Structures are given as structure tokens and as C-alpha cells.
């Protein structure tokens, strides 16, 4: 798994609306909380997504963009996002290509992993956390790290 101090690999993936999202588009503008999760609408993943949703304003106040990534398709992301009113971007990573770039480990070698990265606006990973069993810790830990970083520009 990529560690703090490493440059965050750039990537392009489709969001829930089928539009292309590029990590590089946020560089020099926003800090990014990039979180990888196993599957839409499962207990732990739903709790994690809803926790990010409930803290979303605080992430915005910290100048951060929250981005969730799983191998689910765009239609699944649309349903998941609508069902739980998720105000942040969900990306489809078919085959786990981007998860592999970030070294997100699989659980038991089979289940897609759960990992969170805080990336500063210069593109450097400042925090990396891997835990399948504690999805809510990802949200709180990411917030703590963001509060230590200079706030990113709020310009769009």
C-alpha cells in the first residue's frame, strides 16, 4: 500500500453519471480524501459512506474533496448515491486497476479492500489507512489529518 510521502498516482475513472473524473484536475486546488471500499449497499460500506456524508460539510470547510472508489458500475453508484443522499463523488474502478495502483490489499485475497488516503493539494499522500473491520475510523482519521493541512483554495 502506498505510504505517506509518496506522490499520489494520477488516474481517470467514470463517476456515477458516466463522466470522466481525473485526480489531476484537483491538484493545486483541493486536498482529496480518496477512499476505496468493497461494495455498494453492504453494511460496512453503507455505514462508511453515510459517515462521510454526515461529516461532508466539515470536509468542505477543510477544503477537501471526498471521493469514493469501488469496482461497482456507474448504475450501481447512482442507486447507492441516491438512496443515501451522498453528496460526494463515487467512481467506478472495474477490475480494481486504480486500487492496484494504490496498493489497496484485498481481504483474504478475494474481497476488494478498504483503504483511505488523504492527498494534499500538491498531490502528495499525507495519510494512508487500511482496515476492513473499522470503516468509521477512516472518516474520523481522515478529518484529523485534514485539520493539520493548510486549507486548500476554495476556488472552483
With H, G, I as helix, E, B as strand and everything else as coil, classify residue 12. strand
Q: Which entry of 34, 45, 64, 139 is annotated as an active-site residue?
A: 45
Q: In whole angstroms, give the CA distance from residue 112 to residue 99.
A: 8
H/E element holding 56? helix 56-61
The CA-based dihedral angle spanning residues 3, 5, 99, 138, taken in that order and rounded to the nearest 10 degrees = 70
Catalytic status, residue 50? no
Residue 73: CB atoms within 10 A of its CB come to 14
- List the catalytic residues: 45
Amino acid at each position: 500500500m502506498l505510504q505517506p510521502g509518496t506522490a499520489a498516482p494520477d488516474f481517470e475513472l467514470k463517476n456515477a453519471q458516466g463522466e470522466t473524473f481525473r485526480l489531476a484536475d484537483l491538484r493545486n486546488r483541493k486536498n482529496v480524501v480518496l477512499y476505496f471500499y468493497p461494495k455498494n449497499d453492504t453494511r460496512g460500506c453503507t455505514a462508511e459512506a453515510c459517515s462521510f456524508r454526515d461529516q461532508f460539510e466539515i470536509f468542505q470547510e477543510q477544503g477537501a474533496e471526498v471521493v469514493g472508489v469501488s469496482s461497482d458500475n456507474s448504475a450501481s453508484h447512482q442507486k447507492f448515491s441516491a438512496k443515501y443522499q451522498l453528496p460526494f463523488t463515487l467512481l467506478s474502478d472495474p477490475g480494481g486497476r486504480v486500487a492496484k495502483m494504490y496498493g489497496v490489499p484485498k481481504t483474504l485475497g478475494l474481497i476488494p479492500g478498504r483503504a483511505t488516503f488523504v492527498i494534499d493539494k500538491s498531490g502528495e499522500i499525507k495519510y494512508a489507512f487500511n482496515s476492513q473491520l473499522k470503516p468509521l475510523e477512516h472518516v474520523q482519521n481522515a478529518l484529523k489529518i485534514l485539520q493539520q493541512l493548510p486549507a486548500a483554495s476554495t476556488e472552483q
